[in-house]
Structure 1
Amino acid sequence: MTVDIKVIRAGQMYRYYLRETVVGDGRRPARTPLREAQEQAGVPVGRWMGRGLAVLGLAPGEEVTEAQLRNLFGERGRHPYADRIEAGLLAKGESAKKAFKAGALGRRVTVTGVDFFFRPQPTIYLLWALGDEETRRVIEAAHERAIERVLEWIEDEVAVIRYGKDGIYRVRPPGGLVAARFRHHEARSGMPLLHDHLLLSVKGQRLDGKWGSIHTLALHENTVAASALYDELVAAEVCEALGLATEPRIVTAGRRPVMEIAGVPHELIRWTSRRSDQIAACPVCAGCGTRFTDARWKAIEPAGWDAPWETHPHLCDDCKQRAITAERQAQHSEHGHHEDDQAVPEQKAGGTWISRFRS
């Protein structure tokens, strides 16, 4: 599929997005402002999308700031301008409790959003990577418009807000949803890959004006449909603009073929291996059996699996740290036993402690 989905939770997972995803899947330097980190990584700033922006005082295409991300996704679903709202009420003499409540969008939640990952089909992003400037411009425009259409479809046909006892009532968010889009130009492996992360907030407003949370299960259940819609929209616009055609290509034997741009060699398509294939090629930890992370694999790959400067090249970071800690504890214990063994003969040679003072 060309559209994937992951849940965003407040806390450690949100911090991961703030450290890596919003800066092009790289590693954001500590204490570096978001805008500066994005410029260093060579990626554009994030942009707001969705019909629900107006009620929050935001506009489509407006730059996404770190404070807005923190409030909406990191602080369990608060208003993007919660800091400003609280400061204004406190300046008017309102209590801290009332000011904090004014910056909330309904109840606080743990799951604050979902991450929709959009990337064109292999033949299309190959044309984007190897084509001229005009080809790249056409594909990027089709890619962006398709994401907008898919978000509109989610707002109109998929997203539902559950409320009442056991979520018995379900309504569409009439005012739409809010999402932050981040454009990337490379995969984690360094290969050119046009793709966007659409961080969709779970917060939506009901007809009565109260804020609720959309049902994330409905989003997961419709990911395949979202992927099919996105593929159709991108392929149709690219083919029309560039005068291309599509042809069926069998990806998995026994399954329905997928439509790809005609004329692109299959060898070139296979060369752009999927992320899952790259992960499968990485070794597993000998301690816990999990596959190595990108950072861990890159740390030992240049010098080989048996890198001499790596104390535990066969272990992941967590198991490596536990092994080092256990070794240090064992060494400390052995050193303590060695000192005890040295002291005991001296005591025995001189008799008891009292006898030693008497001699």
Structure 2
Amino acid sequence: MTAASIPASTGADYAEYLDGKTVAPEQGDYYLGRDGLPTEAPGRWLGDPHALGRVGVAPGPVAAEELRALMAGRCPGQPENFLRAAGPDGTRAAGIDVTFSAPKSVSIAWALGDPDQRAEIEQAHRAAVEQAVGYLAEMVPLTARWDPALGSSTPAKAAHVHAAEFLHTTARGVGDGAPDPQIHSHVVITSVERDDGTVTAVRSRPVLRVAREGGAFYRAQLADHLRHLGYAIDPAGVNGRYFRIRGVEEQVEAAFSRRTAEVQQAARAFRAEHGRAPERGELRALAIATRSSKIPHTRHELDASWQATAAPHGLDTGRAARLRSASAPASAETANWATTVERNVTAKRATFDEPELRTVALEAAAGHGLAAQDALDATDALRRSGRVLDLADGRMTSATVRAAETAIETNLTAMAADQRRRIEPRARAVGITAVEQRIGAPLSDEQRAAIERITGPGRAAVLVGPAGTGKGLVIDAAAHAEQAAGRRVYGVAVAGRTAQRLGESAPALVGRVKTIDGFIAAAERGRLQLDADTTVYVDEAGMGDTDRLHRLTKLIAEHGGALVAIGDPRQLPAIGAGGMFERLTHHLPTAELHTIHRASDPAERDAWQALRNGNADAALAFYRDRGHLHLTDTRDEALEAAAHRYDQLAAEHGHHQVALMSDASNTEIDHLNLRIQALRRGRSELSTHGVEHPAGYQLCAGDRVIWTESMPARDGGARVENGQRGAIETIDRERLAVRLDGGNRLVQLDAHQLGAVRLGYATHVVREQGATVRRSVVVTGGWQTSQETAYVESTRATNGVDWHLAREDLDGADDTDRLRQLSARMSASRAQAPSLAAELDDPVRAPSDPVDDLRVARLAPQPSRRPTLPTPNHAIERDR
């Protein structure tokens, strides 16, 4: 589900667009009209007929004049009669477009099906849409009510909605190409009726906030209806959030998106060359230039085109008919659903609220045989069983996460109290001397105190230090001291590249660093020795998710080893459920570093500290005065300016000494990478020929690449870690030779391994935590900006950072207002908090057996509880 407000200025045009799609084609063709453009069936009104009648809507299909009138806030047939008051600016918003789109496999089954299959799938989709709109009306405060006691309006549910649904069966055509099949409905909610009978505009913001939940409800209902039609449904997507009709494989779905992908690839190349997105006419020219086949103009031709697309993958009309079996729907997999929900609801954070629980429950329902209402009911069983725990602050957590957090804290507290680790002063002196000789300078008093603190006598300790305070030197000296005392040392981190950086900054750990997962696997298989004489250093522990830290601390505790957690709670948090690192600083012996050594400019060090403390105003004033804040009107212009600034600095300092970062999407990272590649190609710095990357661009000799997954090395050496970078030295047919940064190692990649790398000029800020370079360039300012991202972005470089911002990302009458909003975003923390930060709402309740408690009869499929599919629209059938 997606949602978008329709401004008053575009309401009439949008109504014309929707109505124009319903005009009957000249040749009586249901699918394609003039010029090959798709045409659809007339829209239908959703909502209570009496409520629609009160605003002047007649029964039957949606009439264009009725829709235009309601979107303008007028009563149909009575243009002088306004139904709702104008807003403060004197205009009336046209409404909100809520679009429900079926999974691609459903659209493919429709495209290859016979007329009966198509009718059934359309009706299943329409039923799910109608139920989802009803769910939104029930769950979302679509209007507001004046509260005399408060002297202001408060959100309220609507008594009725005025909505029109337009079913479309194809995606937008790409240029003049054949449209892909895509079942989707535009639901235009023009207004709502309150309990007192008054008509008001729709509050769009609450609808935008529940788009994910509304889409999950729609998919759960659609999957349930399809199951009852005889289709088998499988989970699909990351963590099973979506579903797929069994028998329509991923490669078939990709084939039906190929035309769109071709034009997107051409648009990406245009953007790389010109530094901006193609405009409408240019995009059309690209679409025509990439077209390689005749455009279908009739229903028969379009059907033939779709069948030809599916045939190479073994899916034809006969197999499509067999996708729908005559067997009864499979029984609900409630126990598996519960496990999926418990895992997914804490996939990103340790705590969640009730809307998040509902959303995840609905997402898992489609692939596990539950209708939407059954899944919502089953969340109560999760709470009764103790698998979902209520917290005293009104949020929730899972029993699994709560138990893992408790185990981490219990194990490490006990380890800290165990005084068996003895590092004598002589051994510490050996470690300090080794580091001072390496760097040619003495360690500071606070660094020496930190070394003493983290080397015992307890078996667990914490080292906290802001960016650039020399944590690597402290770890190196401590590790040398442990080795001088006859102990084994290892360094671990969540990411392989972070572990490598630990070895680079602390040479005592060279050859003894691993990812947390790799360390656990090696210890469990007996490939490394872990006992009472072992100390493990956990770098960037703040990025450690609860599950990994739990497995690691449990392993070390059981073998009698010691653990030192290193990090900064003000930097980026874990990607999964986390938040334990900062809590441990209050429960374990903790050493803290304060003096920043990385930045050469004392004033910049103060700016770093200001960002760390959430005082972005002071930091932004510094960067503005130094001329390091660069504002452009659009995000595209900011990306272009950042690419050119990086290109300039890389020529001066070398690519490996300049970091180009964004806190936005991978798509934006790709834009930056391709643009810089184009700038280098224009100066003939890259080979004229390259190899095709799976993402649709070329890799050339001279390009910088980054590994996006760990890869075993062909030469039998250590694997190349996720996040490792290098430069392509040679290309021999389909094979690359990449020289890794920081050494002379040459790594060979065959064609089938190219998916493990991508262009590596620009990266997301997450990949840069722990890195140190000479200069950095940052694109930021969007909704993703936070205190943690701003702090990490500012602290990577020893000699300054350039910030690139777009005015369109920041609201305000002028740049002063915009920088004020930027400061607010840079001062807002998104740090994780563990569930242990809140007491249980009912600490006496003990979890019962989770599976047995969920195997209750009321959760089995109950057809009588499900809304019946709407009566088929005979006008649609007749047009077929």
The 3 A distance-change label for structure 1 pair 288 and 7 is farther
Equivalent residues in 2 for 1:1-359 (5 A)?
A: 3-11=1-9, 13-24=10-21, 42-51=39-48, 52-59=51-58, 62-73=60-71, 75=72, 77-83=73-79, 86=80, 102-108=81-87, 109-164=91-146, 168-174=153-159, 176-189=160-173, 190-201=179-190, 203-241=191-229, 243-249=230-236, 251-252=237-238, 255-273=239-257, 280-283=264-267, 284=270, 289-293=276-280, 296-303=282-289
Distance apart, 1:273 and its partner CA: 2.8
Q: Distance in 2 between matches of 1:291 and 1:227?
A: 31
Does the aligned pair in 2 maintain the 1:8–1:14 contact within 8 Å?
Answer: yes
Percent of matched pairs sharing the same residue: 23
Distance apart, 1:139 and its partner CA: 0.5
Q: Distance in 2 between matches of 1:20 and 1:71?
A: 15
Q: Distance in 2 between matches of 1:103 and 1:257?
A: 43
Gaps of at least 5 residues in structure 1 are: 29-35, 87-101, 306-359
Q: Which residue pairs with 1:357 in the alignment?
A: none
Helix, strand or coil: the match of 1:264?
coil
The 3 A distance-change label for structure 1 pair 41 and 123 is closer
Q: Which residue pairs with 2:807 in the alignment?
A: none
1:184 maps to amino acid: H
Distance apart, 1:15 and its partner CA: 3.9
Does the aligned pair in 2 maintain the 1:161–1:170 contact within 8 Å?
Answer: yes
The 3 A distance-change label for structure 1 pair 211 and 301 is closer
Does the aligned pair in 1 maintain the 2:56–2:75 contact within 8 Å?
Answer: no
Deviations 1:37-76 (A, max 9, x none): 9xx953222222112313213255x222222222221x3x
Q: Which residue pairs with 2:666 in the alignment?
A: none
Distance apart, 1:227 and its partner CA: 0.7
Q: Distance in 1 between matches of 2:67 and 2:248?
A: 40
Q: Distance in 2 between matches of 1:238 and 1:45?
A: 24
1:195 maps to amino acid: H
2:77 maps to amino acid: Y
The 3 A distance-change label for structure 1 pair 46 and 167 is farther
Distance apart, 1:120 and its partner CA: 1.3
Helix, strand or coil: the match of 1:168?
strand
Deviations 1:214-247 (A, max 9, x none): 3211111111111111111111111211x22222
Helix, strand or coil: the match of 2:244?
strand
The 3 A distance-change label for structure 1 pair 269 and 300 is closer
The 3 A distance-change label for structure 1 pair 135 and 103 is same
Distance apart, 1:263 and its partner CA: 2.0
The 3 A distance-change label for structure 1 pair 150 and 180 is same
Does the aligned pair in 2 maintain the 1:79–1:105 contact within 8 Å?
Answer: no
1:220 maps to amino acid: L
Q: Distance in 2 between matches of 1:171 and 1:301?
A: 47
1:179 maps to amino acid: A
Deviations 1:106-147 (A, max 9, x none): 335443211111221111111001112221111011011111
- What TM-score comes out, normalization by structure 1 length? 0.64
Distance apart, 1:262 and its partner CA: 1.6
1:259 maps to amino acid: F
1:105 maps to amino acid: R
Q: Distance in 1 between matches of 2:290 and 2:114?
A: 38
Does the aligned pair in 2 maintain the 1:162–1:213 contact within 8 Å?
Answer: no
1:78 maps to amino acid: R
The 3 A distance-change label for structure 1 pair 106 and 15 is closer
- Greater RCO (Cα-Cα under 8 Å, separation 6 or more): 1
Does the aligned pair in 2 maintain the 1:155–1:177 contact within 8 Å?
Answer: yes
Q: Which residue pairs with 1:352 in the alignment?
A: none
Distance apart, 1:148 and its partner CA: 1.0
1:204 maps to amino acid: V
Does the aligned pair in 2 maintain the 1:48–1:59 contact within 8 Å?
Answer: no
The 3 A distance-change label for structure 1 pair 184 and 53 is same
Distance apart, 1:276 and its partner CA: 8.2
Does the aligned pair in 1 maintain the 2:233–2:244 contact within 8 Å?
Answer: yes
Which structure has the bigger radius of gyration? 2
Helix, strand or coil: the match of 1:181?
strand
The alignment yields a C-alpha RMSD, in angstroms, of 3.2
Q: Distance in 2 between matches of 1:274 and 1:5?
A: 26
Q: Distance in 2 between matches of 1:291 and 1:303?
A: 14
2:21 maps to amino acid: G
The 3 A distance-change label for structure 1 pair 229 and 79 is same
Does the aligned pair in 1 maintain the 2:110–2:121 contact within 8 Å?
Answer: yes
Does the aligned pair in 2 maintain the 1:79–1:104 contact within 8 Å?
Answer: yes
